[in-house]
Amino acid sequence: MAGLINEEDLATVRERSRIEDVVASFVTLRRAGGGSLAGLCPFHDEKTPSFRVTPARGFWHCFGCGEGGDVISFVQKINNVGFAEAVEYLADRVGVQLRFSDAGGARVEPGLRMRVLEANRLAAEFYTGHLLSATGLPGRQFLDGRGFDKTAAEQFGIGFAPTGGRELGQHLKAQGFSDEELVRAGLVRENGWDFFQGRVLWPIRDAGRSVLGFGARRIFDDDRMPAKYLNTPETIIYKKSNVLYGLDLARGNIAKKNQAVIVEGYTDVMACHLAGVDTAVASCGTAFGDEHSRLLQRLLGTGDVSGGEVIFTFDGDAAGQAAALKVFKGDQNFSAQTYVAVEPSGLDPCDLRIQQGEAAVRELVGRRVPLYQFVMRNILAEHDLDRVDGRLAALRAAAPLVSSIRDKSLFERYIRELAKWLGDPDPNEVRREVNATMHRRPAEQRRQADRRPPEVADAALPGLPEPAPSLPVPDPRDRRLEAERGTLRLLVRAPEKFVDDWFGLVPGDFTHPTYRALFEVVQGVADGAGPWTQRMLAANPDPVLESLVISLAVEPVLREPTEAYAREYAAQLRVQTVSRQIAELKSKLQRTNPLADQTAYNRMFAQLVNLEKDRKDLVALATGPAL
């Protein structure tokens, strides 16, 4: 560590760092009354903004997850760095040259982060200078062939890495950078050669316009590096799962238009912006992943289904369809606001602009369709819908996708649309197949499917375990889930009150996957030894379950947890399950012709009578706490 930060400098950094500006680089904030600003919390998943910033007091606080603090703690948390590094980050933003002192008061070198940022800034300048010089001719010819002139090159900060292989390193060492700093910045290799040689480069910046790294394209046939595209390796400032090319240019427009367009490459981002699609970004050297989607959602500023639009320009080909399916199966808040724009000619935005002009690029984005429609239609297209067996096979193939939707409002919409595309005027058959799919899947598989897919495998650091897939965070204020949460609240505090085999509760009584998972944990550790909470936490290391257990343990309970109180809650939950079964059976009865199948009809009718009786008994038990 470089020693203590000079007190005076620290005070200056605090003074000059406007918390609303710093937070706004990561979260779109809107005025929320009382002099505060609101946005979606970057530290927990949520649909409605409960994250507040109060500029006058210099504080931030989230009413959803309880996190809060000052501008330095915000930077620590969002960048996952220590205090000193957070101060360096802020000092860099507001232009304060930090002085460090050890115990004796002697000045030592500033921290690495700032040096790496500075090296990247100078490298970007060096590369743009070379693009315009005589050595940069091949780079300029490449850009010219893609329809980009000098103004465009300047606007996007494009550069050229000379072919000699040592020029950048020598240039930066002359400016006082050490070999180690340049290696850590990802600009020079361990063997002393420049990381990028003889390539066209795009600077990859954060929303605050600091250069974090570069993307580079091969232009010479004899390039020693085989990959067409090469990116800065992971450094302390460049994390490929967390950066989007074009974000510095698109950021303000994304918030203003409540829209983001995701394209494949650097030249596509340029073509889009030049054509007026100024919300375009691209992931760099990796597939678009969950981190990227979270980054964009925070900038869109709302998780509302009707709120923001994220438009992917996938290819219509198999790879594009697979990519769309991956997004669809990922974060559902995200997929609900996701659209797909497919260019029938198969041209990417860059080629489209060259061959058909800028209006064609705007039209491509204008032709977007909802992601689920794109995914469903691709599935249906594999079947012959003119034949009865073809339609049935198509329905079987599409039903699992619909059954994976958790949002009930979307669920109904998808069922109706699927029926329409199948040419079936009655959505009940689709609904039946979707329900059957859900029940066919064993509980464990269902739970797995409800989880987010793991991050792209190569995002894991060597030697560290892969990031665990996470359960969705239930909204504690969701009234429909109050009986589920209330029961778990008691189970977490006083499991011994749930006698008679949990009063008949089963995992299926919990409709939210995370609540269901916690109940399964409770059942699994019931016979173990040691403190109850520790047992629950040890049984499942999922961070969402962990924080749920802790919240439930501290949430207020209305009454002393007694056996009678526990029985009432369990009964409430069972009433809900039985009510769902009754509704299902009734709809089945309505679709059964009593004259055609007398036995089946009578059997279902008897079942219904029994269920109604069960419900009546349970309602009598559940009259305690208000629902």
Residue span binding Zn ion (CB under 5 A) among the ranges 40-48, 428-436, 467-475, 484-492? 40-48
Residue span binding Zn ion (CB under 5 A) among the ranges 44-52, 150-158, 381-389, 595-603? 44-52
Q: Residue 40 or 185: which CB sits closer to Zn ion?
A: 40
DSSP readout, 474-506?
PPTT-GGGHHHHHHHHHHHH-GGG-HHHHHT--
- Give which of 332, 294, 311 is closest to 27, Cα–Cα: 294
Residue span binding Zn ion (CB under 5 A) among the ranges 57-65, 264-272, 349-357, 607-615? 57-65
- Give which of 514, 516, 501, 492 is closest to 577, Cα–Cα: 516
Residue span binding Zn ion (CB under 5 A) among the ranges 59-67, 309-317, 342-350, 523-531? 59-67
| Minimum distance of Zn ion from residue 61's CB (angstroms) | 9
Does residue 303 belong to the site contacting Zn ion (CB under 5 A)?
no
| Minimum distance of Zn ion from residue 491's CB (angstroms) | 25
Query: Contact at 8 Å (CB) between 316 and 377?
Result: no
Residue span binding Zn ion (CB under 5 A) among the ranges 19-27, 39-47, 257-265, 440-448? 39-47
* 343 contacts: CB under 8 Å, gap ≥ 6: 313, 316, 349, 352, 364
> Could you identify the residue written with the tokens 């808040």?
333
Longest dimension (CA), the chain: 97
Q: Which of 2, 4, 65, 537 binds Zn ion (CB under 5 A)?
A: 65
Residue span binding Zn ion (CB under 5 A) among the ranges 54-62, 201-209, 224-232, 594-602? 54-62
Residue span binding Zn ion (CB under 5 A) among the ranges 38-46, 161-169, 458-466, 516-524? 38-46
* Exposure string for 21-55, b = 16+ CB within 10 A, e = fewer: ebbbbbbbbeeeeeebbbbbbbebbbbebbbbbbb
* Size of residue set near Zn ion by CB under 5 A: 6
Does residue 43 belong to the site contacting Zn ion (CB under 5 A)?
yes
SS3 82: coil
Q: Residue 27 or 525: which CB sits closer to Zn ion?
A: 27
| Minimum distance of Zn ion from residue 301's CB (angstroms) | 15
Compute CA distances 364 → 152, 256, 325, 328, 381, whole Å. Answer: 21, 21, 20, 21, 22
| Minimum distance of Zn ion from residue 46's CB (angstroms) | 7
Q: Residue 77 or 362: which CB sits closer to Zn ion?
A: 77
Query: Contact at 8 Å (CB) between 32 and 52?
Result: yes
DSSP readout, 101-121?
E-TT--EEPPPHHHHHHHHHH
| Minimum distance of Zn ion from residue 26's CB (angstroms) | 13
SS3 412: helix
DSSP readout, 128-156?
HHHHHSGGGHHHHHHHHHTT--HHHHHHT
Number of Cβ atoms within 10 Å of the Cβ of 162: 21
Q: Residue 68 or 624: which CB sits closer to Zn ion?
A: 68
Query: Contact at 8 Å (CB) between 424 and 430?
Result: yes
The phi, psi pair for 280, rounded to 5°, reads -85, 140
| Minimum distance of Zn ion from residue 412's CB (angstroms) | 30
Q: Which of 27, 62, 254, 548 binds Zn ion (CB under 5 A)?
A: 62
Residues in contact with Zn ion, shown as a per-residue x/- string from 523 to 542 under the rule CB under 5 A: --------------------
| Minimum distance of Zn ion from residue 386's CB (angstroms) | 51
Q: Residue 43 or 601: which CB sits closer to Zn ion?
A: 43
Compute CA distances 510 → 177, 443, 514, 572, 614, whole Å. Answer: 59, 11, 9, 11, 18
| Minimum distance of Zn ion from residue 594's CB (angstroms) | 54
Does residue 41 belong to the site contacting Zn ion (CB under 5 A)?
yes
| Minimum distance of Zn ion from residue 471's CB (angstroms) | 16
Residue span binding Zn ion (CB under 5 A) among the ranges 43-51, 187-195, 203-211, 619-627? 43-51
Does residue 40 belong to the site contacting Zn ion (CB under 5 A)?
no
* 26 contacts: CB under 8 Å, gap ≥ 6: 42, 78, 207, 298
Does residue 64 belong to the site contacting Zn ion (CB under 5 A)?
yes
Q: Residue 80 or 587: which CB sits closer to Zn ion?
A: 80
Does residue 506 belong to the site contacting Zn ion (CB under 5 A)?
no
The phi, psi pair for 592, rounded to 5°, reads -95, 130
| Minimum distance of Zn ion from residue 589's CB (angstroms) | 46
Q: Residue 39 or 215: which CB sits closer to Zn ion?
A: 39
- Give which of 522, 622, 535, 514 is closest to 574, Cα–Cα: 622
| Minimum distance of Zn ion from residue 289's CB (angstroms) | 21
Phi-psi region of 606 (alpha: psi -120 to 50; beta: other; left: phi over 0): alpha
| Minimum distance of Zn ion from residue 616's CB (angstroms) | 42
Does residue 63 belong to the site contacting Zn ion (CB under 5 A)?
no
Q: Which of 44, 166, 441, 451 binds Zn ion (CB under 5 A)?
A: 44
| Minimum distance of Zn ion from residue 39's CB (angstroms) | 10
Q: Residue 41 or 578: which CB sits closer to Zn ion?
A: 41
d(CA 256, CA 262): 17
Q: Residue 66 or 145: which CB sits closer to Zn ion?
A: 66
**Rounded (10°) angle between helices 371-380 and 408-421:** 40
Is the Cα torsion angle 270, 307, 347, 455 positive or negative in sign? positive
Applying CB under 5 A, the residues found at the interface with Zn ion are 41, 43-44, 62, 64-65
